[in-house]
Amino acid sequence: MKRPNAWNDYTPEQLAELEALTSDYKAFISANKTERECCATGVKLAQEAGYANLTDCVREGRALKAGDKVYAVNRNKTLLLVQLGIEPLEQGLNILGAHIDSPRLDVKQVPLDEQDGIAYLDTHYYGGIKKYQWLALPLALHGVVCKKDGTTVSVAIGEDPADPVFCISDLLPHLGTEQMGKKASEFVPGEALDVIVGDRPLTLEEGSEESPVRAQVLQVLSDRLGIDEEDLLSAELEVVPAGPARDLGLDRSMILGYGHDDRSCAYPSLRAQLACEAPARTAVTLLVDKEEIGSVGATGMTSMFFEDSMAEICALAGVEGELALRRCLRNSRVLSSDVSAAYDPVFASVFEKKNSCFMGHGLSFNKYTGARGKSGSNDADAEYVADIRRIMDEAGVHFQTCELGKVDAGGGGTIAYILARYGMSVIDCGVPVLSMHAPWEVASKADVFEAYRGYCAFLQA
């Protein structure tokens, strides 16, 4: 059951719309490489589109009605957007759920070290990565440093052409015989992912500083950011690939960028929510943190943020009580929007071809995910899959169905099973991606465009 290639069906007008959307998407993932940055930009776009802060609405006791738009933020890392529909809230929501965290290296709390004249920042990798892929790449430093006086210093070093970049050294092949004989998982240990940040010693009186290069780095941090070493104890600094997303291929049909997982779903979801007009059912977009490490913590999907925020919205809309909230959640429909592994002919042995998704063939739907016999998965019921097929077909959206590789090859999960706990109808869907979880991933412009079209159709359904 081969699905058609989306590129073959586009009109000139659709191609122009595709290029405009994906150009904006490239700019978004180039400028927003952390969950904090994605959240802040999402808030800015929501405010420009007329969304009101839920906190302000609660404080003022503002009544909400059909057509009203509100947003809520959780610790600057999770964003909820809601546009109230015409139908009663108890009849359920149409929800787009995606995550805005991506695999990376996190700087440790006590990171700065000098070894034989080179200064390093120690890191702890975040999410599932192949550690060797992070060697000898230009890297950037993003995040925040929170000081004891209550001020927060934003950090983004390595993106401006005038900025320095950072890197992790690799061993030359001339001396790498032993290293090359190791398994890929042992090629470089996690504690060796030390980021080089300097080798120039601070000019002081002879012998007055045991670690002069380390001292020079601290001086630069003080001069440029106004922070000292103690401030790093309360910092969240992320090491990410430096540089912008770029068109890939002579035909410019693809995008090479950091963070397609899962911003290639999060950004089209955000844009679809902002473009939504007078939905029948209440339209919701939920962009969460911590998916790459199990959706844990106060900003992950397992927190009470979503449920609590919807309780506040229900109350302001005159839908009071625990039972009414439970009905609202139970009757909801969800697209758990996360990327899937695109079929890669180079590594064909791990894919089951007829149940794989292909680049350029549109939005992909995974009825189930998981591993080892669907362990840890949400498995959408046939009735809901049929409903989704109807919505996509009526809107002319190119879509395909898939699994994440061969049955025994591995697997993965999303936030779907967490939302399904409420009794919602949930299915996984997203953009097919090559080189998933690598520092630079590949997505087709057509698939990002079809994701946006599919999300728009779903919110309006």
Kindly state whether residues 199 and 178 are assigned to the same domain: yes
Q: Using one digit for the tens of pLDDT, what is the confidence trace for 292-344?
A: 999 999 999 999 999 999 999 999 999 989 999 999 999 999 999 999 999 99
Kindly state whether residues 434 and 296 are assigned to the same domain: yes
Kindly state whether residues 85 and 150 are assigned to the same domain: no
Kindly state whether residues 93 and 109 are assigned to the same domain: no
CATH number at residue 367: 3.40.630.10
**Dihedral sign for Cα atoms in the order 159, 81, 441, 299:** positive
**Domain residue limits at 434:** 6-102+258-460
pTM, two decimal places:
0.95
Kindly state whether residues 287 and 427 are assigned to the same domain: yes
- Within a domain: 181: yes
Q: What is the DSSP letter of 242?
A: -
CB distance 328 to 88 below 8 Å: no
CB distance 252 to 234 below 8 Å: no
When divided into structural domains, the chain yields a total of 2
- Within a domain: 252: no
Write out the H or E segment, with its range, that includes residue 157: strand 152-157
CB distance 318 to 59 below 8 Å: no
- Within a domain: 253: no
Residue 119 CB coordination number (10 Å)? 25
Low-confidence ranges of the chain (pLDDT < 70): 204-209
Residue 124 CB coordination number (10 Å)? 13
At 88 the three-state DSSP class reads: coil
Instruction: Quote the tokens at residue 97.
Output: 């759920």
Kindly state whether residues 117 and 22 are assigned to the same domain: no
Residue 345 CB coordination number (10 Å)? 7
Instruction: Quote the tokens at residue 424.
Output: 């919602």
CB distance 287 to 273 below 8 Å: no
CB distance 447 to 406 below 8 Å: no
CB distance 241 to 165 below 8 Å: no
Kindly state whether residues 272 and 396 are assigned to the same domain: yes
Q: What's the rounded Cα separation, in Å, for the pair 307 and 284?
A: 12
Residue 20 CB coordination number (10 Å)? 11
- Within a domain: 265: yes
Please report which residue ranges of 118-259 form alpha helices under DSSP H: 177-180, 212-225
CB distance 37 to 140 below 8 Å: no
Q: Supply the pLDDT for residue 206.
A: 52
Q: Supply the pLDDT for residue 214.
A: 94
- Within a domain: 395: yes
Q: Supply the pLDDT for residue 373.
A: 84
The distance in angstroms from the start CA to the end CA of the chain is 26
| CA dihedral angle for residue 163, residue 169, residue 170, residue 175, rounded to 10 degrees | 130
Instruction: Quote the tokens at residue 180.
Output: 């090359």
Q: What is the DSSP letter of 206?
A: T
Q: Supply the pLDDT for residue 134.
A: 97
CATH number at residue 122: 2.30.250.10
Q: Supply the pLDDT for residue 372.
A: 81
Instruction: Give the type of residue at 228.
Output: D
Beta pairing partners, 156: 142
Q: Supply the pLDDT for residue 370.
A: 79
Q: Using one digit for the tens of pLDDT, what is the confidence trace for 132-160?
A: 999 999 999 999 999 999 999 999 999 99
Q: Supply the pLDDT for residue 412.
A: 78
Contacts of 298 (CB under 8 A, 6+ apart): 74, 75, 305
Q: Supply the pLDDT for residue 204.
A: 65
Q: Supply the pLDDT for residue 374.
A: 86
- Within a domain: 356: yes
Q: What's the rounded Cα separation, in Å, for the pair 72 and 46?
A: 10
Domain boundary among 194, 211, 241: 241
Q: What angle do CA 445, 446, 450 make, to 5 degrees?
A: 120
Q: What angle do CA 302, 156, 303 make, to 5 degrees?
A: 5
Q: Are strands 254-257 and 411-412 parallel, antiparallel or unpaired?
A: unpaired
Kindly state whether residues 200 and 314 are assigned to the same domain: no
Nearest to 400 by CA among 360, 344, 444, 443: 360
Contacts of 56 (CB under 8 A, 6+ apart): 62
- Within a domain: 193: yes
Instruction: Give the type of residue at 179.
Output: Q
Nearest to 150 by CA among 234, 25, 274: 234
Kindly state whether residues 191 and 334 are assigned to the same domain: no
At 107 the three-state DSSP class reads: strand
Contacts of 125 (CB under 8 A, 6+ apart): 103, 104, 105, 106, 131, 134, 190, 193
Q: What is the DSSP letter of 160?
A: S
